[in-house]
Structure formats: C-alpha cells, structure tokens
Copies of this chain bind each other. A is one copy, B any other.
Amino acid sequence: MRSMGAEKIAALVNTFGMSLISVSKEMGVQLSLVKSEVAQGVNTSGSCCAALVGVVGGGLQGTIVVMLDEPGFGAVVTAMSGGMIQPSLEDPVSMSVIGELTNMVSGRALIQSSLQGVDVTPPQIITGAGIRTIPTQSPGIRTFTLPFRVAQGGTLYLILSFHG
C-alpha cells in the first residue's frame, strides 16, 4: 500500500477535527480545540472511556480514537440523546453513544476528504480508569492528539494514527 505524504496527513487530521466539531455541534455539543495542547504524539490525561475505529483504503491505514473524561462523557451522552439516556460507564447503551459519535465523525471526514474506497471498522468501545493511549514505537506511524474542551464541562480527545 502506498503511504500518504506529510501534507496529506496534516490535511486529514484537520478534516477529522472539523468533522468532530461540526457533527458535535449538530448534536448539541459545543467543542473548542485547545490549540496550545495539540500534540504530535500522544498527550491525553486520564479518561474513562474510548471508542476506536479503524480506517483502511484509498492509500490510508489508520485508527481514530475518541476519548473522554467523566464530565465530558456525561455531557456528550446527555446532549446527543437529548437527555433520554442516563450517562453510565456500566451501561452499553450509554457507551454506544460514543461509538456512534466516532462513526459519524469518521464518515463525514472521509466524505469531505474525498477519499475513495475507504472502509471503517465497527467501533470498539473501552472503559476503565485513567485510560490513555501510548504512542507506538513503530517507525512510519504518525500519531496526533487534538484536545477539545466541552462547553458543558470536561475534555474530549481525538487521537489519530496513520501509516505514512
């Protein structure tokens, strides 16, 4: 598989960030990028849940992770479900909201970046205490962390890793 250039990857990271902001806004979640903490590499403080999807095809091979701390998780579940779902880390229905968000963001980002033939895996959802991602040591993999403040409270991290 042909790997992507640095410029293409930077554009893609940007597109995913924009998609996250616009999808969230439509769902009633206001996110603002904490520009001072954007990191190449991984720089997340303790979160309690994560949803991961793999994206493969069209010269792309990577993973997208949405990670939230507890206030952020509560705010997103409440807003996206219109208050219909009680945020709970023990409840698969509540957790699946985060998977759905990750799916929607990936879908929109891939459409907007006009990448053809890209497939997205079903989201894998993980809970725990003090969750964080560890930067891979493999050469040729670039990882980016975009931290977002949630207006209702809390922090959401968007973590992208790509071959290229």
Instruction: Name A residues whose Cβ lies closer than 8 Å to a Cβ of B.
Output: 1, 46-47, 50, 52-57, 61-63, 65, 92-93, 95-96, 99, 119-138, 141, 159, 161-163
Contact = CB atoms under 8 A, between A and B. Distances in A.
A44 B136 CA distance: 24
Given A56-B119, A96-B134, 12 more contacts: A53-B54, A54-B54, A54-B121, A62-B122, A65-B124, A92-B135, A96-B136, A122-B141, A124-B133, A125-B133, A125-B136, A129-B130
Nearest to A138: B122
Nearest to A119: B56
A57, A63, A130, A163 — which one has the most chain B CB atoms within 10 A of its CB? A63
A74 to B, nearest CB: 16
Given A57-B56, A127-B131, A129-B129, A122 B93 contact: no
B52 A137 contact: no
* Interface of chain A, main secondary structure: strand
A121 B55 contact: yes
Contact of A52 (B56, B63, B92, B96): B63
A122 to B, nearest CB: 5
